[in-house]
Structure 1
């Protein structure tokens, strides 16, 4: 395994750690944030009751930094892909991370905030679903099935939220954090697969696409 392989693999893990630690840190630093009353984006919007300079720095900065760092993981996903479908998942994965950074760049009062958030969540679900299909085609059926289960759970959370009333009602942070947790779990799991699992290269390089 080359240094590039290691850096790319660990970039996926680092991206998850950066965004999640920063987000949770922002909720703890907020004077009045409530999971049942707020959206996570309230933490990054100056002027809201739950935001402070510390929460905006943590939340917005964590998303931007995590999104940029996570893009390095696309190298591993592409180079270690065993078929065209697995490699195709790189595109929505990269789009999702651009959306993640966009949520941090454009606070909730900005017109581009909602498109960035949709890009993050939809892109993450599409990336996972496409990669799962590629896994199945590559013979990793169990892994593909579990990943599809994560996607269905993500869709289910948003279906549950949408069926309960306005999408922007208080408590939006709940489906947001669940969706983020599902995507984060998949990224870490996939990074481990390529760093130390069955996909870990043993010949000094990432396995060439088949």
Structure 2
């Protein structure tokens, strides 16, 4: 197997594992927190309760895997548009790590990392989607742009608590990461 093929496989594994790990830890933290309410809390509230270690380490580990995925993706793309999209995506994945390291107990910095993640990832999908469309992969490009739009839409509405829009946005990230990870793993960058 060539070094390039190994890098693609590593990116694929990380792209698939990142959201799976993050969601597994998030739902584990929810199961350990009987007080948690989808309509009264933010997911980040789990980062300061009895399940804080589970929640925060899941975000850090998932963010680390996503960052490896994004860094390899950035190194693979040669065209300017997808490189810019990859860089924005990389910054979003680093923000996910920041959410886990700087829990709500750390103060305002937690808010900044959270906003960065939920803003940067959809923007990266819009940019990546345009680059993917220009490279001739119409269906994948359109789906990427649509997932960016759907991931941003929950934030247009006013919610009494943000756990639901956080999950909806995270599911768009999950879907895209799983598919792009599988594409990389199968050798189709």
What does the per-residue CA deviation read over 1:86-124, in whole Å, with 9 as the maximum and x for residues that have no partner? Answer: 122121111111110111111113220010001111111
User: Map of 1:55-204 to 2, 5 A cutoff?
Assistant: 55-81=51-77, 83-109=79-105, 110-160=107-157, 162=158, 169=160, 171-196=161-186, 199=188
> What residue ranges of structure 2 are gaps of 5+ in the alignment?
none
> What residue ranges of structure 1 are gaps of 5+ in the alignment?
46-50, 201-210
Deviation at 1:75, TM superposition (A): 4.0
Segments of 4+ in structure 1 off by > 6 A?
Answer: none
Deviation at 1:82, TM superposition (A): 5.1
Matched, 1:41 2:37: no
Q: TM-score, normalised by structure 2?
A: 0.91
Q: Answer with 1 or 2: which has the greater Rg.
A: 1
For residue 108 of structure 2, give the secondary structure of its aligned residue in structure 1: coil
Identify the structure with the greater helix proportion.
2
2:74·2:87 contact (CA, 8 Å) conserved in 1?
Answer: no
1:60·1:104 contact (CA, 8 Å) conserved in 2?
Answer: yes
Q: Give the Cα–Cα distance (whole angstroms) in 2 for the partners of residues 63 and 159 of structure 1.
A: 24
Q: Give the Cα–Cα distance (whole angstroms) in 2 for the partners of residues 190 and 181 of structure 1.
A: 14
